[in-house]
Amino acid sequence: MGLLTDPGAGRGKLTQLLVTYHNKLCILLYVGGVAWFLILAHDNFNAGTYFSENALLPGLVKGEFDKEALAKTYQSELLDEAARYPDGVPYSWLLAKFRQINLDVYTHNFTLNYPLGLGTEYTGKNVYAILRAPRSSSTEALVLSVPYRPPTSVHPGTVPSIAIMLALAKFFRRQKYWAKDVIFLVTEHEQLGIQAWLEAYHKATSGRSGVLDHGDMMGRGGAIQAAINLELHAEKIMFILMLKYKGLNGQLPNLDLVTLVHRMCSKEGVRHTFKNRENGNYRDTFKEWLHSFKTLMAMVSTQATGVPNGNHGLFHRAFMFSLFAFSSAFFKNGKGNTALYFQIGRVLEGLFRSLNNLLERFHQSYFFYLLPATDRYISIGMYMPPLGLLCAGLVIKAFALWLKMQEDPTKRNDSDKEDSDMKSENSGSEKKGAGNFSLVPVGMTVLATHTLGIILLSSPQALSVVVSRIWYVNRYFNIPGIFYLDSKHAHSSIILPQI
Amino acid sequence: MKYHNNIMRIILILMSFGYVFSVHRDLPEHFTRAGHTNNWAVLVDTSRFWFNYRHVANVLSIYRSVKRLGIPDSQIILMVADDMACNPRNPRPATVFNNANQHINVYGDDVEVDYRGYEVTVENFVRLLTGRSPPGTPRSKQLLTDEGSNVLVYLTGHGGDGFLKFQDSEEVTSQELADAVEQMWQKRRYHEIFFMIDTCQAASLYEKFYSPNILAVASSLVGEDSLSHHVDPAIGVYIIDRYTYYALDFLERVEPDSTKTMGEFLAVCPKRVCISTVGVRKDLFPRDPHKVLITDFFGSLRPVELTISGLNVTAMPYQFQNFLLQFHPQFQASSVYQQREQE
């Protein structure tokens, strides 16, 4: 007889002890799990980051990027061009600039069949240029992508990132040490553009087919090994790099890539933050712990939403690890030195040279980790035990309940004669409960919740049809698009489809 | 008439004795005592990939030294597992440097690589040593040594306790190596062997040897790692290993007629510069390393003997030359017009 059906089970002394004290035990386990997790944020209980991939050779080579003046020129030119296209992308300017650098330039058209808009179609166009590896066949590629934001967009503009990208493209074009193709990508419409580009690149559709028509891709490089998404809002005075890694459904890039970027920034003297928090230097251990803990919780909460907080997130699915590498921020207290195009260029150059040394996709370091600081990590092996303790409480509670249900009424009759009357009443009611236990209410509840869920899932499309019929909303009005709200961050990304 | 000939013969014999004694010198010890007749070198780099640039630089530097000291390409077997010079990541294509000052391109234009790329495997290495190559193997890929050959074997790459890693996918163990060398001894394929091993935990590779006439030096003991020397920031890799760097430093100052000894070479990298401890195995070597010339292994000695005075052999009638040759073989050795080559 199996454990669960053995009437002899549940009679042992230990299990009886468990049943009597299980509440206290569950609470203890829960509190212990939470306390253990809190402690993990302290430096003594987590580890410093290190490089697992020997091939990276990070920071060994001297940077040679010297095109910061060119980047400034590009920036001013682009600002003028962008002013002429307040709602769109200055395609001709971008194409012309890439062609001047002698790269293979392509455009990529995609359409969105908006499911909530009664068949409205929105189109978009991405521009990308491929720098072919001079001495090797195009088997692998690295991507540097920038989302273009027109001046009327609600998000901060990304003109400086396009400027530095063009300057880098010109610098990279003249080097002879590339073993992989480098693809410079300018996308439109935030995450829609990058999603369409990725789908077209891999000739695969993820998600519901027919919604996003990714179009055809004329030029292609090799398999993408890593991607950097660049969003510099200004190259003004206070320049700090914010690094974000969250992907779709909470997927993270390989820890090696994260460590690489932080190490490069430190090498060039650029201040870098993670979750808007730099590494703090506190004498007080409690304050230090609190700082690390807040960073950790920031990461956990954003990861919990499962929403990528930038274009990089969509790269993670097929093992193309990427990160939303940079964005500038203005710090009120005004300390720190300026990081100009020169330093950013050097950081990116060092980064791409290290990525160039890779032979395989990132696979050596951790995929599941938490970062309490830019240079410390908590691996899955370290944060699983507290989670295990939390779940152990649940398991013990369930086991204890089951044991209680399985208690034999005759056993109660053998107990102390003084309480026999009371006990017999108890046993009678319990026996009644145990005997009459039926699964019907449980099944009904499950069925009802599932039905409600299905209704909710399919409601937007149905509702939009119904509502439009009732209110005669026609397609000449701008229909707000998909609304992402990132709880921890002040901004939210709204995709405004262009008609 | 017969009496006259006999007198002539006696006078000639006396004269020749005089000549022989006047030109006879004590030949230096190493000309007569050298037990070997030819030198071979087997230089092996077992690691591939761009970040192992330093192993290729190691082996090419030793190749250059050995070639400079006289061993010809036909007697050097060079095994290089990856092509660094033409690697797309090399910012200086067609070159391999062993120093950050990039003075010497050790790849050059006269490098002859015998086993390249994926041909460097454990099987090929063992077949090379034991001589069991399949029929049709080109001469440049065979180790055609005999019982008078001194062989230098240089191994570099990634190693561990008891093994050397080939190509990131297989290993040769120290026992296999010892057995291969024993096969060489059984077939009389070497006179003396000098093993030079520059890997991590290199000493474990020579621990299992059991054949005679083996001298071995390793860059680190078991449990220690051999470290690289410095980075070249222009190329972006570690460019050479410590032990080989200091060994080369020593070898660069050795000339083909040098009297430096193996004993000095074995002490070339003390712990304060090498960080790892250099290990030496000399119990299987019968001679004292301090009395063995470094050119016994690294050079190919071509001794040229100088005589003090000249000997006009054409003045002697032919039949007397033959007569004298029978009596005095040394007459042959001291001839000014002869140059004994050690091949």
Nearest CA in chain A to B52: A55
Nearest CA in chain B to A177: B89
Average predicted confidence (pLDDT) for chain A = 78
Residue B287 burial (CB count, 10 A): 15
In chain B, which residues touch A (CB < 8 A)? 49-51, 86-91, 93, 231, 233-238
The pLDDT value given to residue A278: 64
Angle between helices A380-405 and A13-39 (to 10 degrees): 150
Q: How confident is the model at residue A6 (pLDDT cuts 50, 70, 90)?
A: low
Of A51-55, A94-98, A471-475, B138-142, minimum mean pLDDT range: A471-475
The pLDDT tens digits of the residues spanning A319-369 come to: 555 555 454 443 333 344 445 788 888 989 999 999 999 988 888 888 899
d(CA B299, CA B257): 9
Give the phi and the psi of residue B258 in degrees, each rounded to 5: -70, 150
Residue B123 scores a pLDDT above 90: yes
More confident residue, A306 or A53: A53
Of B89, B234, B235, the CB nearest to A356: B89
The pLDDT value given to residue A262: 86
Q: What percent of chain B has pLDDT over 90?
A: 66
More confident residue, B204 or A191: B204
Flag whether the ipTM exceeds 0.90: no
Cβ of residue A356 closer than 8 Å to a chain B Cβ: yes
Cβ of residue A60 closer than 8 Å to a chain B Cβ: yes
Angle between helices B2-23 and B318-327 (to 10 degrees): 60
CB contact under 8 A, A57 and B86: no
Most A CBs within 10 Å, among B89, B95, B169, B237, to test the A interface? B89
More confident residue, B309 or A354: A354
CB contact under 8 A, B236 and A60: yes
Query: Radius of gyration of chain A from Cα atoms?
Result: 29
Contact between A187 and A193 (Cβ < 8 Å): yes
Nearest CA in chain A to B89: A177
Contact between B113 and B56 (Cβ < 8 Å): no
Average pLDDT over residues B15-24: 57
The pLDDT tens digits of the residues spanning B197-220 come to: 999 999 999 999 999 999 999 999
All residues of chain B having their beta carbon less than 8 Å from the beta carbon of residue A364 are none
Residue A44 scores a pLDDT above 70: yes
Most B CBs within 10 Å, among A52, A132, A135, A267, to test the B interface? A135
DSSP secondary structure code for residue B6 in this structure: H
Of A54, A62, A177, the CB nearest to B89: A177
Residue A154 scores a pLDDT above 60: yes
CA atoms within 13 Å, Cβ hemisphere of B27:
12
Q: What percent of chain A has pLDDT over 70?
A: 74
Q: A152-161, A336-345, A490-499: which has the highest mean pLDDT?
A: A152-161
Of B86, B90, B231, the CB nearest to A177: B90
Residue of B36, B55, B191, B200 with catalytic role: B200
The pLDDT tens digits of the residues spanning A205-222 come to: 877 777 888 888 888 888
The pLDDT tens digits of the residues spanning B60-88 come to: 999 999 999 999 999 999 999 999 999 99
CB contact under 8 A, A176 and B233: no
Cβ of residue A55 closer than 8 Å to a chain B Cβ: yes
The pLDDT value given to residue B53: 94
Give the phi and the psi of residue A124 in degrees, each rounded to 5: -150, 165
The pLDDT tens digits of the residues spanning B243-260 come to: 999 999 999 999 988 889
The pLDDT tens digits of the residues spanning A405-447 come to: 877 555 544 444 444 444 444 444 444 444 566 788 989 999 9
Average pLDDT over residues A121-146: 91
Cβ of residue A438 closer than 8 Å to a chain B Cβ: no
The 3 state secondary structure assigned to chain A is CCCCCCCCCCCCHHHHHHHHHHHHHHHHHHHHHHHHHHHCCCHHHCEECCCCCHHHCCCCCCCCCCCHHHHHHHHHHHHHHHHHCCCCCCHHHHHHHHHHCCCEEEEEEEEEECCCCCCCEEEEEEEEEEECCCCCCCCEEEEEEEECCCCCCCCCCCHHHHHHHHHHHHHHHCCCCCCCEEEEEEECCHHHHHHHHHHHHHCCCCCCCCCEECCCCCCCCCEEEEEEEECCCCCCCCCCEEEECCCHHHCCCCHHHHHHHHHHHHHHCCCEEECCECCCCCCCHHHHHHHHHHHHHHHHHHHHHCCCCCHHHHHHHHCCEEEEEECCCCCCCCCCCCCCHHHHHHHHHHHHHHHHCCCCCCCCCCCCEEEEECCEEEEHHHHHHHHHHHHHHHHHHHHHHHHHHCCCHHHHHCCCCCCHHHHHHHHHHHHHHHHCCCCHHHHHHHHHHHHHHHHHHHHHHHHHHHHHHHHCCCCCCCCCCCEECCCCCCCCEECCCCC
Residue A18 scores a pLDDT above 90: no
Residue B177 scores a pLDDT above 70: yes
* Element counts in chain B: helices (H) and strands (E): 12, 12
Q: What percent of chain B has pLDDT over 70?
A: 83
Is B269 marked active-site? Answer: no
Of B51, B91, B235, the CB nearest to A55: B51
Cβ of residue A136 closer than 8 Å to a chain B Cβ: yes
Of A157-171, A244-258, A294-308, B303-317, minimum mean pLDDT range: B303-317
The two tokens of residue A401 are 């309940």
Residue A14 scores a pLDDT above 60: yes
The pLDDT value given to residue A192: 85
Of A479-483, B279-283, B288-292, minimum mean pLDDT range: A479-483
d(CA A314, CA A128): 17
Residue A199 scores a pLDDT above 50: yes
CA proximity to A401, closest of A61, A26, A1:
A26
Is B200 marked active-site? Answer: yes
